[in-house]
């Protein structure tokens, strides 16, 4: 597959898993377009990738919680590039009592996690379908497999992503576009996140993952056409085995400990 003039798009690319996706794609000699919020050093990251891996890199800074921004981004992408990989990684979590959440807080999570992922995929799909081979990877979460108190909106949004991806995968069978979804747990994105997750106790420590390993494995499985990628088989098995009446209070208590800590 000739990728010299085609690109992989990564949203939420400035840090954590998104940055790891960008670096792993660049290592494979794949040109990348990085999308993230303004003020996240995206220009510097793009320059580093170009210098280190000798690939082409472009970047676009925008807030994906705003509908108009999403449409402007996809218009620019379609008008400027051939795209053969789309990684919808941008997402917002959040741990808060629902009664203390503001309308803006709830809306932002839904706009980024649900609306932006759906719309970017929809708008870029004609571009992807023009390519001899193309791939879409949507980043869901282990949280997609259980509701969680004190998170409420986030797991529901990731359940949507998982369902959306599985449905689109089935719909696009027989085309040049392959759709996959990855369901990682919490990741070691920075020291603060590690400490916060570890306060959840055993469950939090069990699911803590390395972003680079998650990105590397996910891209490898995507190119192998694995439609549902599980990077932490232990936590996935626990989630599958435990009935909802056990795992829902168990996970809620873990999150409650995090809030209290």
How far, in Å, CA of 96 to CA of 5, rounded?
44
**Which of 158, 173, 188, 195 is the catalytic position?**
158
Q: Based on the residue annotation, tell me whether 60 is a catalytic residue of this protein.
A: no
Active site residue 154: yes
| Count of CB atoms situated within 10 Å of the CB of 51 | 10
Q: Which residues contact 21 (CB under 8 A, 6 or more apart)?
A: 10, 13, 87, 89, 215, 218, 219
CA torsion sign for 161, 162, 163, 169 is positive
Q: Which of 59, 154, 217, 247 is catalytic?
A: 154
- State how far the Cα of 151 lies from the Cα of 96, in Å rounded to an integer: 6
Q: How far apart are CA 204 and CA 213, in angstroms?
A: 18
What are the catalytic residues? Answer: 154, 158
């Amino acid at each position: 597959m000739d990728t010299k003039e085609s690109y992989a798009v990564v949203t939420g690319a400035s840090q954590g898993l998104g940055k790891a996706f960008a670096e792993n794609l660049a290592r494979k000699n794949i040109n990348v377009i990085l999308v993230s919020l303004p003020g996240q050093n995206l220009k510097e990251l793009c320059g580093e990738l170009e210098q280190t891996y000798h690939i082409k890199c472009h970047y676009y800074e925008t807030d994906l919680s705003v509908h108009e921004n999403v449409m402007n981004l996809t218009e620019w992408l379609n008008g400027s590039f051939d795209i053969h990989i789309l990684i919808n990684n941008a997402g917002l979590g959040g741990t808060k009592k629902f009664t203390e959440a503001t309308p803006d807080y709830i809306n932002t999570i839904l706009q980024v996690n649900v609306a932006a992922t759906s719309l970017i995929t929809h708008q870029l799909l004609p571009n992807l379908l023009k390519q001899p081979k193309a791939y879409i990877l949507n980043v869901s979460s282990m949280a997609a497999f259980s509701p969680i108190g004190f998170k409420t909106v986030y797991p529901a949004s990731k359940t949507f992503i998982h369902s959306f991806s599985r449905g689109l995968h089935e719909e696009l069978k027989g085309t040049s576009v392959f759709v996959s979804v990855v369901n990682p747990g919490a990741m070691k994105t920075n020291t603060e996140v590690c400490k916060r997750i570890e306060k959840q106790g055993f469950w939090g420590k069990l699911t803590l993952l390395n972003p680079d390993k998650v990105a590397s494995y996910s891209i490898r499985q995507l190119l192998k056409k694995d439609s549902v990628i599980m990077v932490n088989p232990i936590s996935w098995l626990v989630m599958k085995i435990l009935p909802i009446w056990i795992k829902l209070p168990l996970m809620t208590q873990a999150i409650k400990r995090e809030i209290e800590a």
